Amino acid sequence: MSHRTRERPAECLASLSHSTMIDKIKATLIKVSGKRSDITIAAVYCPPKHQILREDYRHFFSQLGHRYIIGGDWNAKHLFWGSKLVTTRGRHLYQAVKELNLECVSTEETQLTVSLKTVEEVEQAIEDINKLIHSAANRSTPQGKAGRSKEHVYPTFIRDSVTERRRLRREWQNNHYARDKTAFNKASQQLKALTKE
């Protein structure tokens, strides 16, 4: 499960913090702080002995912040993520995932049992989990220009006034004539008056 993210690795390595949640859902969390926001990466294990309800899952997800990637053994079977049957726990987790509009990344290549007896098997497992994390991040990243959201849509006459002010400023900066400076100042005052209304 993941929330949308798009940051360069150099921006993300500003600081790391680690914590472990001990409850029905065992999780080890790493919070990566970047320039724009944080992302939490969690490894989860849910022991089969506990009864975990939809509300428990929702509470767990709410503690992770706005952006996160989670992987692990949920012991919650559901057809939605490739299991052959549906358990009560799987149904509760599925309901929480759907209610919170989370994205699940579980492919046919995902191995639920991994042998880690040799160095090569450990390295292969690390490479596979790395690919899954990258896949989750890429699938969850909105397409388009990052970081350029339109907060305000201004009327055409204000946009035209801004364009004219910029043109007058450029003209004044190129030739430094007093009349151009006066025209630029007048356009600035008119724009200021328009935006106050």
pLDDT of residue 117: 82
Residues 127-137: tens digit of each pLDDT: 887 787 777 77
Please report whether residue 147 resides in a domain.
no
Nearest to 46, CA basis, from 75, 82, 81:
75
Please report whether residue 88 resides in a domain.
yes
pLDDT of residue 50: 87
pLDDT of residue 95: 94
Do both 15 and 62 map to the same domain? yes
pLDDT tens track, the chain, 197 positions: 544 444 444 444 444 555 556 578 888 888 887 777 788 888 888 888 889 999 999 989 988 888 888 888 888 988 888 778 899 999 999 999 999 988 887 655 555 566 778 888 888 878 887 787 777 777 766 666 555 555 567 778 888 889 999 999 999 888 889 999 999 999 999 888 887 76
Do both 111 and 28 map to the same domain? yes
As for how many domains the chain has, the answer is 2
Do both 44 and 71 map to the same domain? yes
Please report whether residue 150 resides in a domain.
no
- Per the CB < 8 A criterion, the answer to whether 47 and 74 are in contact is no
Please report whether residue 109 resides in a domain.
yes
Half-sphere exposure of 118 (CA within 13 A, CB side): 3
Q: Which CATH number goes with the domain that contains 27?
A: 3.60.10.10
Q: What is the DSSP string of 142-157?
A: PPS-TT--------HH
The Cα-based distances of 25 to 45, 114, 181, 187 in angstroms read 6, 21, 66, 61
Do both 92 and 182 map to the same domain? no
Residue 177 one-letter amino acid = Y
CA dist., res. 123 & res. 116, Å (int): 9
Do both 92 and 165 map to the same domain? no
Please report whether residue 22 resides in a domain.
yes
Please report whether residue 86 resides in a domain.
yes
Do both 64 and 131 map to the same domain? yes
Handedness of CA 46, 47, 53, 56 (dihedral sign): negative
Do both 85 and 163 map to the same domain? no
Please report whether residue 1 resides in a domain.
no
Do both 72 and 99 map to the same domain? yes
Do both 135 and 180 map to the same domain? no
Nearest to 87, CA basis, from 42, 113, 50:
50
Residue that is last in its domain, among 94, 109, 140 = 140
Please report whether residue 124 resides in a domain.
yes
- Per the CB < 8 A criterion, the answer to whether 45 and 29 are in contact is no
- Strands of 79-122, DSSP E: none
Domain span at residue 164 reads 156-196
CA dist., res. 6 & res. 4, Å (int): 7
Record the pTM. 0.52
Do both 128 and 74 map to the same domain? yes
Do both 134 and 162 map to the same domain? no
| Residue that has been written with the tokens 């989860």 in this structure | 44
CA dist., res. 147 & res. 17, Å (int): 25
Residues 102-130: tens digit of each pLDDT: 888 765 555 556 677 888 888 887 888 77
The sheet with strand 68-73 has its strands ordered as 15-21, 26-33, 38-45, 68-73
- Strands of the chain, DSSP E: 15-21, 26-33, 38-45, 68-73
Residue 60 one-letter amino acid = F
Do both 39 and 90 map to the same domain? yes
